[in-house]
Amino acid sequence: MYYPLQIPYQLNRSFAQNITYTETSAVECGGFVLCFWAMQPVTSRNLTVRNIIVTDGCIDLIANFEERQVGFAGMSRTDFHFDITLPAHFIGARLAPGAFYQLTGLDATEAMDTFLPIENVFRDFDEAHFFSLSFDEANMYFKRFLFEKTKTKTPDLFTTLFHTLSDQECFTTKELYCLLHFSPRQCQRLFIKHFGIGPKMALSVVRFQKCLEILTSPETTPADLVNVAGYYDQPHLIKDFKRNIGITPLELIRIYQT
């Protein structure tokens, strides 16, 4: 199963010291939502904390309480400079790759690398009422809203595709085209529509996230690097990690061992 990791609390010490980040199950949303998440400050100080949003192919529905904004957003590349001014309270739902298109009928590019206000998508989300609620009450409203949007639907081929890719040892673009029975040109067009990224980038994201899961295990040691699948060689692995999280695999392992 594809379950991408967001680890800002490991990549930025200031984030970990000043913000609590949590994820909870979203099983009630039938495979359209991978998890619900929340960020809350643990300090009353006014300061700016840098968040690192790791690329994962997902589009999230996000509520920013200080800015009183609710909308969809995704990142096709890791954002190393997403600054948060405290105090700040956020809740979000990490949609499965492909779920945004299936639930809204809008191309994923509408919300990838940008912010799409929810009022442009769902007119029945009552923002005035939502922001009048307490943080916990708003969280429940948020979850109920997404449950209503997903309860009568079943994830389609594209909303489940990242799970299929994640369950395999390795996929090339040629193998992907054969799996889907589409030409390279058709795949490129469909991936941009459903995911906001092309087939090659989608495979890169899945491969990186699988390796990230392996290397963040407390049992992982530097010797395990030779067993990380999907990369041509260690220089390829190191380059991919530095591009996606700004540090090497060995540095990540050491963080989790301390």
| Reported pTM | 0.93
Alpha carbons within 13 angstroms on the beta-carbon side of residue 195 total 27
Contacts of 106 (CB under 8 A, 6+ apart): 100, 116, 121
Reduced to 3 states (helix: H, G, I; strand: E, B; else coil), residue 138 is helix
pLDDT at 230: 63
CA-to-CA dists, residue 62 to 12, 67, 69, 214, 231, angstroms:
21, 11, 8, 28, 33
| C-alpha span between 104 and 102 (Å, rounded) | 6
Amino acid letter for position 193: K
What region does 68 belong to: left with phi over 0, alpha with psi -120 to 50, or beta?
A: left
pLDDT at 225: 67
Q: At the fourth CATH level, which superfamily is domain 161-257?
A: Homeodomain-like (1.10.10.60)
State the 10-residue block means of pLDDT for the chain, 258 residues long: 92 91 96 97 89 95 97 95 94 98 98 97 97 96 98 97 88 90 96 97 92 82 66 78 89 80
| C-alpha span between 211 and 231 (Å, rounded) | 10
pLDDT at 29: 98
Question: Residue ranges per domain, the chain?
Answer: 8-150, 161-257
Alpha carbons within 13 angstroms on the beta-carbon side of residue 209 total 26
pLDDT at 231: 67
- Termini Cα distance of the chain: 28
- Residues 57 and 68: beta-carbon distance below 8 Å: no
pLDDT at 43: 83
List the alpha helices (DSSP H) in the chain: 8-11, 13-18, 99-104, 127-130, 135-150, 161-166, 173-180, 184-195, 199-215, 234-245, 249-257
